[in-house]
Structure 1
Amino acid sequence: MMKRLLILLSVMSIFSDIGAQNNLPVRKAAVAGQFYSDDAEALEKYFEKEFNQITIAPNDKKVRAIIVPHAGYVYSGRTAAWGFATLREKNIYKNVFILGSSHIAAFDGATVFHGSAFETPLGSAEINAEITGILQQNNIFKFPQQYQIEDHVLEVEIPFLQYILEPGFKIIPITIGTKSSYALNKIAETLKPYFTEENLFVISTDLSHYPSYSDAVKADSTVVQSILSGNPETFDSVVRSNENSGIQNYRTAICGYSAVYVLMSIAGSSQGFAYEKLKYSNSGDISGDFDRVVGYAAVAVRASDKKEIDETNDTFAISENDKIIMFEIARGSIESRLSGVTYSLPDSLSKILNEKCGVFVTLHLNDKLRGCIGTFRQDRELSRNIQEMATAAAFNDPRFDPLSKEEYKNIDLEISVLTPMQKIDSVKQIVLGKHGIYIKRGNMAGTFLPQVATETGWTLEEFLGHCCRDKAGIGWDGWKDEDTEIFIYEAIILTENKD
């Protein structure tokens, strides 16, 4: 099949007048042959291979948005495919809004490409010129569409759409040139009426740029977790905190910050959407270079099930003072054991510390797990559970030797307060990064905290499989057995302030 030449000419040569649709321009492929193959047959074979390796748990809720990476396919294509694979079952959309943050220029709003089509080796993806024309009448979208001509950020997503969706959809290509909250909220306000079941939003972004592999995994997990919260303010806070944390070679937390923020503002203000993490990876997984990597994640957004865990916000409202006391109890219990004395709980405790709920206490030494023990017991006060689980994690985790006084000097603690468990009928109710799982068959049982999925980058099937095989001892596919019971819960994760 004849290969298409990569267009590296001037703007005049990239714009072509096709003599149709009122002489609107065609946006030619700018990075075919660089970021992805410029040969249609090779692209088809690539997609067939990638999608055949992906199994997505069935879900009767139609995907409303996906967040996917935009690096070269060799690096991020597999992770992106996890996002697009969620579209296979219900793959008919009227319009696809593709949003990314400009990698070409900074400007105080957004640019929408008002043309007839985007061309790729797989053909032309028609632009909805009616919608792009309407958007361009809004001042926030009036910035030059030439900014999109050579930018890869939207283009790399289009071949995926052409392969996975039923023909007939039209695209609305939008790049954003600002991080101004005022501008982003205006963009979200303008696009919100289009956030309907007949339309799909594709958000194009990579995660951390250029830290080490281990730093990327940690930093990216917090950013992904903040996205799963569905709260744009939480997302913004985590991104700012990460970018000010002093991580070496950390150029940015997420290059598509603006596009993600807009999506979260739209969905967040339209109650009832759940974010699901599908896959995490970084460039080091492919290149073998662990000193300088870029992170990638795939996330899907669907309408959430009506039945949600009752988080009883009043019961689980944890103040900063409550948090301080919890860590004082945990450390006091460990220190007393090391010193050979008896620890006594404080006489006066707040409401939350007297609540009867489960807890896990996790120890890290030099950023590596050093112990983790927890309980789901809801017949004992949280304060007592923290006391017992802290000493158990330090001295009775069978995977480690008892904690020494020397090790204790460098220990970091994490406390996860657990909400009540809820039995589920379908694994599609599990939201990765939000829900912990407890899997039980007969006398065999195992659990994973919510953060395990985020930290490992596992898919839903991997999360379930590892829990069944490695924790419950019922085999990788044990969760599929009709006698297996699956429960979900949430965890309020607390980390120490070391200031």
Structure 2
Amino acid sequence: MYLKGLGIACHPPVLIPEVGEGRENEAQKTIRGLRDLAMKVAEIKPQVIVCITPHGNVFRDGVAVVYENRLQGDLENFGHPEIRMEKECDMGLLDELNIGFGKNQCHTIFLNQKIADEYKIELNIDHGLLIPLYFIEKYYRSYKIVHITIGELSLIELYRMGKVIREAVEANGKDAMILASADLSHCLKDEGPYAFNPMGPLFDENIVSGIKDKNYYSILTIPHQVYEPAGQCGLRPIIMGLGATDGLATEAAVFSYEGPFGVGYMSAFIDLQDEKIPSLLDRYEKDKMLNYKERRLNESSYVALARATINTWVQRGRKLNFDYYQEQVELPADELEALLNTQAGVFVSLHKQGELRGCIGTTGPVTENLAQEIIRNAIEAATYDPRFMPVEEPELMDLEIKVDVLGIPEPVTDVAELDAKKYGVIVEKDLHRGLLLPDLEGVNTPAEQIAIAKQKAGILESETDIVLQRFQVIRYQ
């Protein structure tokens, strides 16, 4: 086997003496852990290190792979341009990755200098990789690199891409390892980069114990409600790296973990073994099917209609025929009456593994009845939300759907009349209009509601001459 293992390394620039100016002494455990990781790399002598970073050019809809012969980077952004590095890239492995990602329909972009110029971005070894490579270079230098930046894709998509990386390494025929650059929670202390959040320590414990105990499934399925408020940057690189271990026995060692500056720093290495074990992807698919069946069993008629609409649109490329649908599905008489004879604004929200996947709606009715309003906005949310790529067929069973039926907006003369849990808010200024639904995760105050609605409308945050309205919703899920 050419792929020897997965290294996980933190990347705080403060560990470099010139940057830390003495503060690095507060993180000696981390420095020793990175030294141990570097010595492990020197022991296995990889010809290629596949580097996965959260701090390169991050795209919402795909993973970025640098396709250049050489890359360089420095710590100029941290006041020390003299600390620099230049490495050759393994073009053979890059070609194998291009083939593998394409064959498996992975969302990627391969960036050469011409494409980078079009996007007005730089191609370099970012600090997320330069820091761990700085320690590795002290013990071993005879390697080429591949530079990969995670995208804002789902965890399972990144895990699957990790498996494709392993297949590409084997096809390339050179000894290699994966290096996942990963700081953990940034919310361990109030004096850290962000305020303390109880999900921070919980997240870090999940990651560290998951590696130690080789319970990688607990990492793959960590809830969004835990990792999002934890303020971390390392989960996706770790998940992508773990995907390369799928179906193989491993030996894992955590060299160090601490949180001296309110940020969780871990270094670890996972050795790959030849022994085959059950795939976590198979387990995930079985669990997904069970969850999907349970979700379908418990969801409301309105949500079932939205789901049937999206399935029909994505799988067959056509709009759901409600007349035919109501003949096939037994709907309660009162709900059928409302669907056929009520008009209201409707928002359809899609989530995938806890993360927003699409949300489109109407503040007032634009179709003849509630059924058509749901059908219209379900298609819009799945296909035309400009923030996301259209929903694809493999995602359908992952979708969690909510349907909000809006009440009639009423004017607000004082912010005290708002309640972030009870009321949605509409903000208007001239021709600009923004809406935010009530009771959204992470939005706890009317001030936060107004700020987000202003941003959506393109209204300056400092603008006070605005018109406010509030509305209630009936939420179906």
Task: Give the structure-1-normalised TM-score.
Answer: 0.41
Give the structure with the larger helix fraction. 2
